[in-house]
Amino acid sequence: MKIRVEKKIGKGTLWIETGELAKQAAGSVLIGYDDTVVLCAAVTAPGRPGADFFPLTCDYRERTAAAGKFPGGFLKREGRPALKEILTSRLIDRPMRPLFPKGFFNEVQVQSFVLASDRCVDPDILAMNGSAAAVAISSLPFNGPLASVRIACINDQFVPFPAFDQLEDSDLDMIISGNKDAILMIEGFAREMPEEQMFEAIAAAHGYIKEIIELQEDLIRQVNPTRMEYVPPAYEKLYEAIKEKYYQAFCDAKRTSGKAARNDACSELKTRVRDDFFPPVKPDDWHESPDWTSDLFDIAWSELEERVVRDLILSGTRPDGRGMTDIREIVCQTNILPRVHGSALFQRGETQALITVTLGTARDEQRVDGLFEEYAKKFMLDYNFPPFSVGECKPIRGPGRREYGHGALAERSVKPVLPDPAVFPYTVRVISDILESNGSSSMASVCGATLGLMASGVPITNPVAGISVGLVKESEDKWVLLTDIMGDEDHFGDMDFKIAGTQNGITGIQLDLKIDGISQEIIKQTLAQSRDARIQILRKMLSAIPRPAKEISPNAPRLLKTKIDPDKIGLLIGPGGKTIRGIQDRTGASIDIENDGTICIASSDEASGKAALDEITRMTGAVEIGKVYDGQVTSIKEFGAFVEILPGRDGLCHISELAEEYIQNIHDICRVGDRMLVKVIAIDDQNRIKLSRKAVVRDQQR
């Protein structure tokens, strides 16, 4: 039976249908906002034996046929997911994961396909809501409903479900997920938005989330799903036994200074405890307890480790001894690598990011194709996380979803401070290689990218820094925020709230939770606490490099821009590209021409670029009175010489303007083919050009 619910939100109508498509899935919905439609389906399977994590897989795909397009490239079929699809898959996963019960290790797969797109509203937000709805009407033990909304800020007004072109004029592009009572996930980017206004945006978004929740609740009531029974592993008795005997020893191990030494101490203790409760060589009088089995040990140990870390923090002791708002020691260095266009090193505690900056031309822009119009990216930030950064030996493969996500967060956090392409026409690529990691390497990438851009001479408008704030929450009245969280605090805490920005406001914000939501009071205090930390970090960064370098690296290409009459583009290109290729061959520069007549010249040195610019100017420029030209004599008459000063444009240098003295024979001064400097002294009504060699000689003698 087909069921449909709908509600007007913003300028359009949000609707959800189920019961007609993909009926063999555990739960499926068709969701749309006006003419944009997404199909979402959820399925489940028994977990693998011995699994110790929740294998939730979320996958989002955009079918180009939804927008009436063919896939770009040689193959006319969709292949590996694009960056946009990977990032949207992460957005679906992050708020949904904490709403499944602890210890639930069944396989769950949620897929979303864009079936129709009006190329107005981004379908990613529909996939997020549709995926949550598909799971909510299935038999899975899901603590929903869960809703998401994208919100923009246009003329100081918050707009839900903004159109794609509206985001171009918006000061904010933020996605927020939550339930009726709390916020679960935030992913947003802004143009240096003050914390107070950002908090207002989050509060406004939560209002729209409640409306979408009501729509889902109506759907769930009509479907009336039967939930599967889930019995969590019975590890409590083993947990209590280990806690009673080894709690204090575990606390002591967690207080060990240094990440590697602390891990070694905890690993050694774990081995000792395992051998105590489940000895590898059992003595004759040993009897296994009927209350637990060895397969529960890892679960019980992980629970005890979480309890130890949280108890230490709540008692006022962080694993490395810092106060709750203290930032680890920061080290900033610039220009640490030769030959590259810019480099920097940012270290905060045991997290280290090596930054490399490359400056390129328009030919290096990244073309991005999808459901919307193709566009070019002039700024890219790539994040790499090799296994040695955490002392692990793992297979070395390409970047995963985490790397793409962290790189996108850092890229969009830095992008608002980049100069306008008209001022700085370079294409910029930043690489962040994480060489050590113990907490918030994405925010280290933001800080390092700022240092690298300044060192390479990119005239950013303001420096950007970022920090991560954690949370340990036992109840609504008992919780504590942690500035600059490290690995254990992230893993065993309840929140990872990353905020990047300038001294003026926020440019990037990302919230991930392990609990089922946080209150607005926690969000407000986190925003304030992160700003204090951000200002401290910015001061440290500016002490290393107070302002962008005045000159770009001598190894970077030189870019020159000019503009010609669009009608002269054909003249510059020449038949079959012969003319422009000739200029490039003679000067060694590369030349790019846009339809509006904008010319971009790139060269390895300034002299080559200027030589190419001079040739282009001579070929396409208008003749100016009083300007000196290096011309070539094309013919000689008794009354003077005709000199070509621009391609196809020549003028007469009368015999009286060739020299100060009397000339008996004009051939004593010049011959056909000779080059001479001449000044334009007049242009008559018939556009005839009068030249003077004598005026140039006179000027040179002054």
Mean pLDDT within 408-418: 96
**pLDDT digits 0-9 by tens, 603-644:** 988 889 899 998 888 788 778 899 998 899 999 998 999 999
Residue 149: which of 168, 127, 125 has the closest Cα? 125
Widest CA span in the chain: 129
Mean pLDDT within 201-207: 96
Mean pLDDT within 409-416: 96
> Does domain 3-223 correspond to CATH entry 3.30.2000.20?
no
Residue found under tokens 């069944």: 106
Asked if the model's pLDDT at residue 288 lies above 80, the reply is no
Asked if the model's pLDDT at residue 286 lies above 70, the reply is no
Residue 520 tokens read as 């607005």
Q: Given this model, what pLDDT does residue 284 score?
A: 64
**pLDDT digits 0-9 by tens, 238-276:** 889 999 999 999 998 988 888 888 889 999 999 999 988
Least confidently predicted of 113-122, 505-514, 643-652: 643-652
> Does domain 628-701 correspond to CATH entry 2.40.50.140?
yes
Mean pLDDT within 485-514: 94
Q: Given this model, what pLDDT does residue 287 score?
A: 64
Q: What phi and psi values does residue 240 have, to the nearest 5 degrees? A: -65, -35
d(CA 499, CA 524): 12
Under 8 Å between Cβ of 341 and 334: no
**pLDDT digits 0-9 by tens, 329-388:** 999 999 999 999 999 999 999 999 999 999 998 889 998 888 888 888 999 999 999 999
Report, in angstroms and rounded to the nearest whole number, the Rg of the chain calculated over CA atoms.
Answer: 33
**pLDDT digits 0-9 by tens, 420-466:** 988 899 999 999 999 999 988 999 999 999 999 999 999 999 999 99
pLDDT bin (cut points 50, 70, 90) of residue 290 is low
Assess whether the region 3-223 and the region 628-701 belong to the same CATH fold: no
pTM score, two decimals? 0.86
Query: Partners of 691 in the beta sheet?
Result: 653, 680
Helix (H) or strand (E) holding 700: helix 693-701
Mean pLDDT within 656-680: 90
Q: Given this model, what pLDDT does residue 369 score?
A: 86
**pLDDT digits 0-9 by tens, 79-99:** 889 999 999 999 999 999 999
d(CA 498, CA 441): 10
Asked if the model's pLDDT at residue 136 lies above 90, the reply is yes
pLDDT bin (cut points 50, 70, 90) of residue 142 is very high
Q: Given this model, what pLDDT does residue 412 score?
A: 95
d(CA 607, CA 554): 13
Asked if the model's pLDDT at residue 37 lies above 70, the reply is yes
d(CA 218, CA 227): 17
Which listed CATH number (3.40.50.300, 2.40.420.20, 3.40.630.40, 3.30.230.70) goes with 330-544?
3.30.230.70
Mean pLDDT within 112-138: 96
**pLDDT averaged over every residue in the chain:** 92
> Does domain 558-620 correspond to CATH entry 3.30.1370.10?
yes
Domain extent listing, the chain: 3-223, 237-282+290-314, 330-544, 558-620, 628-701
Q: Given this model, what pLDDT does residue 567 score?
A: 85
How many helices (H) and strands (E) in the chain? 15, 29
461 alpha-carbon distance from chain centroid: 18
Residue 688 tokens read as 């005839």
Residue 683 tokens read as 């242009």
Residue bearing the bigger pLDDT, 557 or 282: 557
Q: Given this model, what pLDDT does residue 6 score?
A: 95
566 alpha-carbon distance from chain centroid: 36
SS3 assignment, position 595? coil
- Within a 10 A sphere around the Cβ of 567, how many other Cβ atoms? 9
pLDDT bin (cut points 50, 70, 90) of residue 232 is confident
Q: Given this model, what pLDDT does residue 102 score?
A: 86
List C-alpha distances in Å: 601 to 16, 71, 361, 545, 587.
Answer: 53, 32, 9, 30, 11
Q: Given this model, what pLDDT does residue 289 score?
A: 67
**pLDDT digits 0-9 by tens, 461-491:** 999 999 999 999 998 888 999 999 998 899 9
Residue bearing the bigger pLDDT, 103 or 473: 473
Mean pLDDT within 147-158: 95
